[in-house]
Amino acid sequence: MALRVDILTLFPEMFAGFASESMMRIAAEKGLVNVHLHNIREHTHDKHQKVDDSPFGGGPGMVMMVQPVADCLAAVEALDHRRGPIILLTPQGEPFRQPMAERLAQQLRLTLICGHYEGIDERVRRFVTEEISIGDYVLTGGELPAMVLTDAVTRLVPGVLGDDQSCQDESFTSGVLEYPQYTRPREFRGDAVPDILLSGHHGEIEKWRREQARLRTHQRRPDII
């Protein structure tokens, strides 16, 4: 059964290219992942489709109101009987890591809520099951984090990639960064491919790759060793 991803956003147009190109298009054509976009503005109660207001207590910026988000979420949940994580994309969330992507890829349904403006009404949090951040920085909204999460999860769904083994050799999946990769030409501007990769000795090649992965991890990301 295909993984269903529902994305609640104020700007569904931002996802047009993302959902229709490259791996996401292939995943949809194979019937493995289906992305559904939902415009939060369609669930407002006024003709101007107002989704934000000034914060109680004062302060800069505008805050997304709880009502449009809650009503949009209720409508989305009614579309499919399957249940899964309801995720708020926010800088205050748990840092997104590869093991999290692997866990989410095993779900049948994901619901992603994209915040915007200065913040989102705190009462929205009562409807979510987890909060996720893609990094210690602030973006204009949750649309880009939603794309990052969806991309990372989709590529782990069995059958999406041409070779499922490629997922197992990638950075972070095995606890180290991926080893160096080369392809043609054998030499480029004096920089040659390591001889071991041309030797045909698969055992020695695997040993070299493991050593290179450990070395690269020690040099670049000793914090994950």
Any idea where the domains of the chain sit in the sequence? 3-154, 169-224
Q: How confident is the prediction along the chain (225 residues), in pLDDT tens digits per residue? A: 899 999 999 999 999 999 999 999 999 999 999 999 999 999 999 889 999 999 999 999 999 999 999 999 999 999 999 999 999 999 999 999 999 999 999 999 999 999 998 899 999 999 999 999 999 999 999 999 999 999 999 999 999 997 665 666 666 777 899 999 999 999 999 999 999 999 999 999 999 999 999 999 999 999 988
Tell me the two tokens of residue 127: 């409807």
154/212 Cα distance (integer angstroms): 28
| 169-224 is classed CATH 1.10.1270.20 | yes
Query: What is the pLDDT, as a whole number, of residue 171?
Result: 67
Query: What is the pLDDT, as a whole number, of residue 162?
Result: 78
Q: Which helix (H) or strand (E) holds 53?
A: strand 52-53
* Residue recorded with tokens 């939902």: 38
16/24 Cα distance (integer angstroms): 11
Query: What is the pLDDT, as a whole number, of residue 133?
Result: 97
Instruction: To the nearest 10°, report the CA torsion of 165, 89, 14, 7.
Output: 80
Amino acid sitting at position 220? R
71/47 Cα distance (integer angstroms): 16
85/19 Cα distance (integer angstroms): 20
Phi, psi (rounded to 5 degrees) for 116: -165, 180
Other beta carbons within 10 Å of 44: 16
Q: What is the CATH number of domain 3-154?
A: 3.40.1280.10
Query: What is the pLDDT, as a whole number, of residue 163?
Result: 67
End-to-end CA distance of the chain, in Å? Answer: 36
